[in-house]
Amino acid sequence: MKQFKKILFLAVASAFLLTSCSNDDDMIPFDSEPLGAYEDGYFVLNEGGGNSVTNSIIFIGEDGTRTDDVFRIENPDAEEMGIYIQNIFFDDTRAFIVAGSGSVTVVNRYTFEYITTINTDLESPRYGVVVDGKAYVTNNASFASVTDDFLTVIDLTNYSTSQVLIGNYLDRIAAVGDKVITTNNQYGSEHSVSVVDTNTLTVTDIDLGAGNTSNSIAVSDDVVYVLTGSGKFMEIDLDSNTVASTVDIPATISGTKNLNIDDDAVYFTSEASVYSFNLGDTTVSETPILTYNSTSAYGVMYGFAVNDDVIYIGDAADFASNGSFYEYSTSGALLSSNIAGSAPNGFYFN
């Protein structure tokens, strides 16, 4: 009887041990399959000059590994991306590369494998966003007119296209919910942003006030903010289609541009300097976070981004030779200095 009880005890204990081990195994996390070679890191977009072979895209992995010319490495037989590469925007799995010459190249955002090229309903395209399975791309159309600018709407299920006339000089674009918002007339006297309801494609202009030409836009917690070259930081109310609030940047800081928001901190540039203040502040310090050295006549701060407490700056040098890009901490410490391609104009994060 004692022997039977001993055997029974060992059997129960073994079963408990096996069950415990099985449960422990179930709790061990398994790494998911990598999505591709470009899953973690950022892209540097080099605009190039008047020939498609002069543009390029660099990838910097989160471990610092650099890969030059990723599009051509992954797609040696694909058609070129176009001339004057302006912007990259994403959906969950794809990257859309906008060329000012009139095309959008579609690739897998993680492998950079070529998918297709879109070249209909595009004329001098600039920037894009994705909302509910459709891409919206700003177009300057004819540079001789400020009334023919339009949005290209791309159905991402079949890449068919259509146009929505905006009639202002379009540039940057952002999205909140089912609305897209464009900055108007970066280079002229227009002083509005346009709001497009993507359900009805109706367009509403919001007046920013005379002399306040918006040149950059950012979204934080579903709130839209724009920056004007006249030194106005404005919050836009999309319910009432009005300017909700304005922060005046000191007049000593001229030519303000390159609005970015990261962790409730607002960043912008003036000449070769970066400035910052917090959302909710009513005043802006005249002291920059950093000022970098540049000999470029027109390419200072040609690219700019802030992401996860790192500031990224692209300098276009003379637009003919290679430019440079830099990483800085948000306290102004130089983290890295790097050789770019021709005219680095943007940073995009995977």
Specify the pTM. Answer: 0.90
| 335 residue type, one letter | L
What is the structure's pLDDT at 34? 86
What is the structure's pLDDT at 1? 43
Answer yes or no: are the C-beta atoms of 45 and 346 closer than 8 Å: yes
Count the neighbouring beta carbons within 10 Å of the beta carbon of residue 306.
25
What is the structure's pLDDT at 17? 40
Sign, CA torsion 199/215/232/303:
positive
What is the structure's pLDDT at 168? 85
pLDDT per position as a tens digit, 110-157: 999 999 999 999 999 999 999 999 999 999 998 888 889 999 999 999
Q: What are the residue ranges in the chain where pLDDT is below 70?
A: 1-31, 186-188
